Amino acid sequence: MSDAQFTSSSDIDVQGEARQLLVDLVSTPSVTREEGEAAAVLKGFFEEHDREVWIDEVGNVRAPADDSALLTSHIDTVPGDVPVEIRAAQDGDEPALWGRGSVDAKGPLAAMAVAAVRTGVSFAGVVGEEVDSKGGRYLVDDRETEPDAVVNGEPSGWEGITLGYRGLVGGTYVATSESGHSSRPDNNAIQDAIAWWSAIEEEFGGDEWDAVFDRVTPKPTKIQGGLTEDGLSVEATMEVQLRVPPSMNTEEVIEITEGHLDVADRVHWNDRVEPVMESPRTPVARAFRAAIRGAGGDPRLLRKTGTSDMNVYAQVWDCPMVTYGPGDSDLDHAPNEHLVLAEYDRSVDILETVADRLQED
């Protein structure tokens, strides 16, 4: 990404240590697999506050401390040139930081780093969330013990607490048929692929009145087909994803989809993430509700139709967890991505209050 797309953080008029860290992180590009410079900024922040910190072998920033809570968010962003500047929010006159990652998820990341330093709880900034959760998967494998509670960082709005995410199965469908004249009535591989996917869509069509979160939603992401190079066969391949609600698991969804395959067809499953749904009555959820109310807010309990690193953590760690962070998730990956600074400030306060409460329990 060109340096011309980013304003130097030293050129932005910003007040306060917490806001400065946010600006520094958003001003440092960190597209997935290129998180090194932003990780160094984050590591430097913890070193300035005399905290133990290191960058592990996959690129995560690790700052362990009091494990009554682990505050964690991701460093990487999707690609996109959104010039970094502070100007009015799109829907009002409040100052906002514009830039790629300001919402997803450097706002939550910076807020958690500041709260971790101020309260002394554990912190991890992880890599690869936007692609394969490489950093989150390494973190759960590498830690010797699980934390007492996890707060995962994604935009929820300062009054929102995310308790659930759907899971995901992804794979590549492959069908092959003998080549022949297009006037023949027999299906070729391309028609087989279309027929299979139509059966999947009908299978999971469900009731249109059901909430999206509670349904399996299938989505083809890429399809190609035609004669093979030797001219003797027709081949079709289709990249597919199916989102999995907490009422099911990935194995059940795979069994259903494979039940519609013909003998010659197959799917190579290459991505499986289980859904997660946390109780609103856990100590960490209660702490957030109390903190938000104490700050004059109205807590909102959210369920997200996508996936996050919380799915990964919940499959390994048997501890209460929620996802929280400043920002409007409708601006994730958007060309107008920006974060209202007052909301960021409030989220830092909420995280500090929650961390202090969890340390007392």
* 31, 77 contact by CB (below 8 A): yes
* Chain centre distance of CA 287: 23
Helical H runs in 27-133? 36-48, 106-119
How big is the chain, counted in residues?
A: 361
Give the residue from 99, 151, 87, 83 showing the smallest Cα distance to 309.
151
* Chain centre distance of CA 278: 16
**At which residue do the structure tokens 């998730």 appear?**
329
Beta bridge partners, 151, equal 71, 322
Euclidean distance between the first and the last CA atom of the chain, given in angstroms as a whole number: 46
Written as six digits, the tokens of 75 are: 């460093």
User: Residue 354: which H helix or E strand, with range?
Assistant: helix 341-360
**At which residue do the structure tokens 């992804």 appear?**
170
Those residues whose C-beta lies under 8 Å from the C-beta of residue 312, and which sit 6 or more positions away, are: 133, 136, 137, 140, 273
Which residues are catalytic, by number?
76, 129
| Phi, psi (rounded to 5 degrees) for 316 | -115, -40
User: Residue 79: which H helix or E strand, with range?
Assistant: none
Beta bridge partners, 236, equal 175, 225
**At which residue do the structure tokens 């690869």 appear?**
128
